Amino acid sequence: VTDVLRRLKYWTESARRGEALRQEMELHLAEKAAELQEAGMTAERARAEARRRFGNVGLKQEESREIWMTQFLSELGQDIRYGLRTMAANKAFSALAVLLLALGIGANTAIYSFMESILLRSLPVADPESLVVLNWHSRSPQEGSKEWVIHGLQGMFWPGDKGALLTGIFPYPAFETLGEENPVFSTLFGYFNGHNRNLTVRGQATSAGAEYVTGDYFRGLEVSPAAGRLINSEDDRAGAAAVAVISFATSQNRFGGPPNAIGQSILVDNIPFTVIGVTPPEFFGVDPAAAPDLYLPLHTNMLTDGARAARMYGDGNFYWIEMMGRLRPGVSMAQAQAALAPRFHQWVVTTAKTGGERANLPALILNPGAEGLGSLRRQYSKPLYVLLAMVGLILAITCANIANLLLARAAARRREMAVRLSLGAGRFRVVRQLLTESVMLASLGGTFGVLFAIWGVRSLTLLLSNGQENFTLRAELNWKVLGVTAALSVVCGLLFGLAPAIQSTRPDVMPALKDGRGGGPRRRAQHVLVVAQIAISFLLLVGAGLFVRTLNKLHSIQLGYARENILLFSLNARQAGHRDPEMATLYANLRKRLESIPGVSGATFSQSSIISAGMAGGAYRGTMKIGTVSIAGAGVMAAGARFLTTMQIPILAGREIDERDQTGSPPVAVISERLARTYFGNENPVGRRITLEDEKRDLEIVGVSANVRYGGLKQGSSMTVFTAASQFSPDRVTYALRVAGDPLRYVRSVREIVREADSRIPVTNVFTQAAEIDRTISREITFSKLCTGFAVLALLIACVGLYGTVSYSVARQIGEIGTRMALGAQRGAVVWMVLRRVLLLAAAGLAISVPAALIAFRLVKSFLFGTQPNDPGILAMAAVVLLIAAILAGYAPARRASRIDPLAALRHE
């Protein structure tokens, strides 16, 4: 063994050895030259003479290197040639193994490439490691006092540890305070997501994602323009010329290349801007989820968003701007936090006006910014880990299976191994050769796996994006991913090859030479591997059951409104320059025009689709009262005429909102049945009033609708107040057309009509109602499809393993079975004897797997709906499916066993 180690060391240290050898030869030449010089030669001649006597230095180095390389390589070559011959001799086995491995490794590669793109990739800017994101956390105001220093906000919160709230939005004065004479940041820059804006280029209007950025944004990120120049601090001042930077893709799509875009004027929400620069192609801002088309100086939001935006700058209690800093060289994130947290605290104390507000102040924390903002990570990391666990299990099952097949084959090769060992081959040498074979199998599997992964990434992207426009999640097979795949293949090869290799080279060669049959340990190993496969298949079956049940439950939810034959699309007339009350008229007239399209039986609009109403927020968020009673937990939705009819929501009393409800007419509301029952009991609510405290106006209830799932499928509330869109005038509306046939057939007519009304208004978010609803449960759809596929695959692999193992042991027992049958055993008894073993193996697998499933699936509880991780029905169903599959896999060999001719069997013995 020491010999092996020494050779291994030789090989691994070859680079260092090469260097040592070079030094040694140089020394030799120097000494020789020195000696010759002493003997009277000139320095130059001495050096030449030394070289002449030495011979060809390069050649000698080559020769020396070869001495330690050739043996390893020639042996490897031998092994590979031998491996190829073995593979060719067992084509069926090799093909099966390579196919299984390709599926297993490919699935892992596909999922991993998503993880790499979401969780591990850095922003494509200079030195991303020195970027930090500024966040703060605090207790949520609901617990304890309701008072909070945050009086208004625009942005996202996400849950932190122990019920804390985390966010990255700050008041503008906080940004200024933190930026002053900052000892830890070389730059501090701010930005906020402007969401979709109306971008008009040469009269063509489209919807474009906008990011508002401070003057130091591009300097801080150290990005250089693809053309023109980027926004600087001169541009980001109130009153400065309105300039814009556009993304590389936008410059290509809208201007035909970066140089053409520079100096062009564009309209953003109908405000003129001048394009001054184009970002480099790889740049996507700081949020991998966003990829804006437009970058605008922060202060230009006063132009696009009006007076509301101007107020935000001075308000220390309005939270909206997000920040990133670049650390000065040598400053750590912890040092920066220690320096800035007290400064932020001192500032935020001054914005608290009451004791209650002072009791729960936001506390600054810094997070690494190298990977950008974490919205994608927060959204996808857990689902990806779950998927990775699943494909990991598939690969484990594959390895177990191939190990099993190899063990069975090792029986056949035991004689060969014994011969080689007894002829003096080292055991290590033989194991190494066997391992080379299995790594070769795995590498082939990995190669085909990459092809499978390319397909997998493509279909997974399709599945995840679910028809979304500008879906930013782009996974790709880069070198990092391929490296991991290669490593995975080698590890798999070693994993499934090692046990069989060691087994088949056990030193007790004599019995093997005598009869060529394996002993007990191998069968035990085979059984362990089969049990493991069954246990893993069961886990995946239960997973599939849970996710399919979840999806079924979601699909069977009573929406209370029409799902089929509805076309949805969104318009934002305000961004095209329209203002109230003319905007309300525009929307109402457009509704009438759309209703006249042949095949359209009804047209209406509302502030958003019903399913996404929760996300978009209600038309009114303040306190509502009926008399003196406040209404709790009701959603307000502004809707146009004929909303209930078009959506097929039954009208239970009174009327729906219609053409009568104009801007100037008395404000009205239609309430849902549950709201009516809760606050009016059995009285008729029609004619009663709802008071909107914040707007100081009353709505007259004119009708009662049936209950609808308002907002998301899972948390749909049925307490709904429909108000007239003409009296609430949302900026952005979603139209709904009730049509005959495929809704998407009407998209062209819709675009035409909207263009006629005003060509500056782009038509966005075109979906069928069904797709819009499915979009909210895309994760559940993805999971149930994938997991079902994985479970079927796992079950198939496990059955192949079971079949192989049982066939093998039947073959070994031919003698015993023959004897039994000669002694009068019935065929049925023989079948049962074999099947009993199958069932025992399956039972052992289940015994391990049921508790494991109960523990493991608790982790994915948040992914489930309408079912529990320990749902006994699903566990039972998975067990039944598994047992049936096991019996099917075991039946063929069992039948074969029962057909054994006792005479032949005994003769064989």
Question: Segment contacting another protein (CB under 8 A): 67-75, 359-367, 587-595, 854-862?
Answer: 67-75
- Distance in angstroms (rounded) separating the CA atoms of residues 762 and 204: 9
Would the CA dihedral through 241, 245, 246, 252 be positive or negative?
positive
CB count in 10 Å sphere of residue 908: 11
CB of 67 to another protein, least distance (A): 5
Asked if 41 interacts with another protein (CB under 8 A), we say: no
Asked if 63 interacts with another protein (CB under 8 A), we say: yes
- Residue closer to another protein (CB basis): 21 or 291: 21
CB of 24 to another protein, least distance (A): 5
Asked if 9 interacts with another protein (CB under 8 A), we say: no
CB of 409 to another protein, least distance (A): 24
Q: 3-state DSSP call for residue 466?
A: coil
Asked if 832 interacts with another protein (CB under 8 A), we say: no
Question: Segment contacting another protein (CB under 8 A): 63-71, 609-617, 824-832, 879-887?
Answer: 63-71
| Tokens encoding 231 | 């926004």
- Residue closer to another protein (CB basis): 310 or 425: 425
Sites for another protein among residues 455-484 (CB under 8 A): none
Asked if 48 interacts with another protein (CB under 8 A), we say: no
| Cβ-defined contacts of 713-718 (< 8 Å, 24+) | 713/554, 713/557, 713/611, 713/773, 713/776, 713/777, 714/554, 714/865, 715/614, 716/557, 717/633, 717/634, 717/635, 718/560, 718/672, 718/673, 718/674, 718/675
**Beta carbons of 476 and 115 less than 8 angstroms apart:** no
- Beta-sheet strands, E only, within 14-115: none
- Residue closer to another protein (CB basis): 8 or 338: 8
- Distance in angstroms (rounded) separating the CA atoms of residues 817 and 811: 10
Measured CA angle at 293 (ends 289, 297), to 5 deg: 105
Asked if 24 interacts with another protein (CB under 8 A), we say: yes
Question: Segment contacting another protein (CB under 8 A): 17-25, 76-84, 238-246, 296-304?
Answer: 17-25
CA torsion angle for 13, 15, 18, 20 (degrees, to 10)? -70
Question: Segment contacting another protein (CB under 8 A): 308-316, 422-430, 742-750, 809-817?
Answer: 422-430
Asked if 158 interacts with another protein (CB under 8 A), we say: no
- Residue closer to another protein (CB basis): 48 or 753: 48
Distance between first and last Cα of the chain: 41
**Beta carbons of 771 and 747 less than 8 angstroms apart:** no
- Residue closer to another protein (CB basis): 38 or 181: 38
- Out of 15, 59, 89, 92, which residue is the one contacting another protein (CB under 8 A)? 59
Asked if 45 interacts with another protein (CB under 8 A), we say: no
Asked if 249 interacts with another protein (CB under 8 A), we say: no
**Beta carbons of 837 and 806 less than 8 angstroms apart:** yes
Asked if 181 interacts with another protein (CB under 8 A), we say: no
CB of 57 to another protein, least distance (A): 7
- Residue closer to another protein (CB basis): 59 or 88: 59
Asked if 8 interacts with another protein (CB under 8 A), we say: no
Asked if 426 interacts with another protein (CB under 8 A), we say: yes
- Out of 5, 38, 55, 851, which residue is the one contacting another protein (CB under 8 A)? 55
Asked if 56 interacts with another protein (CB under 8 A), we say: yes
Question: Segment contacting another protein (CB under 8 A): 3-11, 305-313, 344-352, 711-719?
Answer: 3-11
Q: Mind spelling out the 3-state secondary structure of 825-876?
A: CCHHHHHHHHHHHHHHHHHHHHHHHHHHHHHHHHHHHHHCCCCCCCCHHHHH
| Tokens encoding 530 | 């089969």
Identify the DSSP state of 215. Answer: T
Identify the DSSP state of 612. Answer: T
- Residue closer to another protein (CB basis): 4 or 238: 4
Q: 3-state DSSP call for residue 327?
A: strand
Asked if 31 interacts with another protein (CB under 8 A), we say: yes
Question: Segment contacting another protein (CB under 8 A): 21-29, 194-202, 514-522, 656-664?
Answer: 21-29
- Residue closer to another protein (CB basis): 434 or 668: 434
- Residue closer to another protein (CB basis): 40 or 424: 424
- Residue closer to another protein (CB basis): 424 or 872: 424
Nearby residues of 66 by Cβ (< 8 Å), 6 or more positions away: none
Question: Measured over all CA atoms, what is the biggest interatomic distance in the chain, rounded to whole angstroms?
Answer: 126
Q: 3-state DSSP call for residue 686?
A: coil
What is the enclosing helix (H) or strand (E) of 563?
A: none
Measured CA angle at 165 (ends 159, 169), to 5 deg: 110
Q: What are phi and psi of 730, to 5 degrees?
A: -70, 150
- Residue closer to another protein (CB basis): 25 or 881: 25
Closest CA to 211 of 274, 287, 271, 154: 287
Residues binding another protein: what is the number (CB under 8 A)?
A: 35
Locus of tokens 């598994």: 882
CB of 422 to another protein, least distance (A): 11
CB of 18 to another protein, least distance (A): 11
275 forms bridges with which residues in the sheet? 244
- Distance in angstroms (rounded) separating the CA atoms of residues 405 and 43: 70
- Residue closer to another protein (CB basis): 27 or 859: 27
- From residue 411, alpha-carbon distances to 80, 198, 265, 842 in Å are 22, 72, 78, 24
CB of 500 to another protein, least distance (A): 22
Asked if 508 interacts with another protein (CB under 8 A), we say: no
- Distance in angstroms (rounded) separating the CA atoms of residues 844 and 862: 30
**Beta carbons of 598 and 584 less than 8 angstroms apart:** no
- Out of 8, 27, 126, 241, which residue is the one contacting another protein (CB under 8 A)? 27
Question: Segment contacting another protein (CB under 8 A): 57-65, 188-196, 241-249, 472-480?
Answer: 57-65
Site string for another protein, 78-117 (x = CB under 8 A): ----------------------------------------
Residues that bind another protein (CB under 8 A): 3-4, 6-7, 10, 20-21, 23-25, 27-28, 30-32, 53-57, 59-61, 63-68, 71, 424-426, 428-429
